Amino acid sequence: MADDNIKRPCEGIRVIEFCTMVSGPFAGQMLADLGAEVIKVEAIGGDPMRYVRPEHKGIGALFLHVNRNKKSIGLNLKSSEAIGIARALAANADVVIENFRPGVMDRLGLGYESLKAENPGLIFVSISGFGTSGPYADRAAYDHVIQGLTGIMRVAGTAGKPVPVRNIIVDKTASMSATNAILAALLQRERAGGGGQRISVSLLDSFAAFSLPEMIVNHTFLEPGADTRPPVDIYHPLETSDGYVIGHIQLDAQFAAACRIFGREELIEDPRYCTMAERAMHFEQMWSEFAAPARTMTTGAIIEAANEHSLPMAPINTVEEFLEDPQGQHSRAHFVHQDPELGPIRLLGYPATLEGSPARVEARAPFLAEHTVELLHELGIDDATIATYKAAGAVQ
């Protein structure tokens, strides 16, 4: 358990988040876990992700997983009063994150150049589908649109039929790219004497950088006649008597171990499999050799034998089975957080362990506009004025 008295690395950093859905909010959450004060600016009615079921007491589960440790203020950005409040928040911020379509923040009077005039140290981060320039800059984009564009669906599919990765992987990749860039910009600001900068993160560029390295090996060396290789499929689940397992064989010793586990010792000297290079050319055939004996063994027996022989292998779990996995429980890949309003809720851990300044979860995702009054008081706005703003629909 983390010591709550240890200062987290981003404490003292204030982030204003003008974001909905996943790409921006997940970046804000990672900074919040690291100690930043993250203020989520929501439209009247809130981030649409709030209403994606399952939900409990007004907070959707997915919203909860990308918005913890934040404060929420409800602002109608079509109102001049709300724009003034947003500008006042940004004037005292270190970072602004937004994931509107390009140009929206400028039209609202909340663009980088405008805010920079009042806050030269501001780091202004825009997350969009295709960036701020180019032929696709004005197009809308969602996760599976980018998956289709970058080619990963063709690689994941078989027999020419594209198959999507059924996970919001593109948005989360952009989030981590944005977080990485923000931390770099904060370090640069400290080293360079206080100046901020604009950062653009596109779903397309960040996912291409993440997903394509192994997919473009045959498009890397561009001289005529350069070496290429046929596609190699290393993913071969084995059916067991009560489930499935998946493993990887790289080294000669690992192949020999698999042969012994599945009672196929005669394959150890088979010329198709006796070297790493030969196995790479015959992966599918190699794994098919183990299919029949695997079906006679339990998943547990295979995993136990694999561990004894140092063969990398794991059961193919359901999500429910993973939640019972002892390693995930030990490392707090997920954990139960006790919240006074929502009761016990399962959350996911921060993806890295910082021994000297650990990330930690101090609060669930906020209810809509939960901190509006608190934040307006901090700006020196009194209760009577707040009531006027609420009556006019400028704040929630």
Domains recognised in the chain with CATH numbers: 14-212+330-391 (3.40.50.10540), 238-315 (3.30.1540.10)
Q: Name the residue type at position 37.
A: E
What pTM was estimated for this model as a whole? 0.95
Q: What local confidence, expressed as pLDDT, does residue 343 receive?
A: 96
Q: What are phi and psi of 93, to 5 degrees?
A: -105, 160
Q: What local confidence, expressed as pLDDT, does residue 165 receive?
A: 94
The Cα 81–Cα 336 span in angstroms is: 40
Residues of the chain with pLDDT below 70 are: 1-3
CB 30 within 8 A of CB 175: yes
Q: What local confidence, expressed as pLDDT, does residue 263 receive?
A: 98
CB 37 within 8 A of CB 48: no
Residue owning tokens 């996912």: 207
3-state SS of the chain? CCCCCCCCCCCCCEEEEECCCCHHHHHHHHHHHCCCEEEEEECCCCCHHHHCCCEECCEEHHHHHHCCCEEEEEECCCCHHHHHHHHHHHHCCCEEEECCCCCHHHHCCCCHHHHHHHCCCCEEEEEECCCCCCCCCCCCCCHHHHHHHHCHHHHHCECCECCCCCCCHHHHHHHHHHHHHHHHHHHHHHHHCCCCEEEEEEHHHHHHHHHCCCCCHHHCCCCCCCCCCCCCCCCCCEECCCCEEEECCCCHHHHHHHHHHCCCHHHCCCCCCCCHHHHHHCHHHHHHHCHHHHCCCCHHHHHHHHHHCCCCEEECCCHHHHHCCHHHHHCCCEEEEEECCCEEEEEECCCCCCCCCCCCCCCCCCCCCCCHHHHHHHCCCCHHHHHHHHHCCCEC
Contacts of 251 (CB under 8 A, 6+ apart): 276
Q: What local confidence, expressed as pLDDT, does residue 5 receive?
A: 79
Q: What local confidence, expressed as pLDDT, does residue 3 receive?
A: 63
The residues assigned a catalytic role are 171
Residue pLDDT, tens place only, 180-195: 999 999 999 999 989 9
Q: What local confidence, expressed as pLDDT, does residue 232 receive?
A: 85
Residues in the chain, total: 396
CB 128 within 8 A of CB 202: yes
Residue pLDDT, tens place only, 227-261: 998 888 899 999 999 999 999 999 999 999 999 99
Contacts of 310 (CB under 8 A, 6+ apart): 253, 254, 257
Q: What local confidence, expressed as pLDDT, does residue 273 receive?
A: 96
Task: Kindly provide the b/e burial profile for residues 170-205, where b requires at least 16 CB atoms within 10 angstroms of the residue's own CB.
Answer: bbbbbbbbbbebbbebbeebeeeeeebbbbbbbbbb
Q: What local confidence, expressed as pLDDT, does residue 308 receive?
A: 97
Two tokens, residue 28:
């804000």
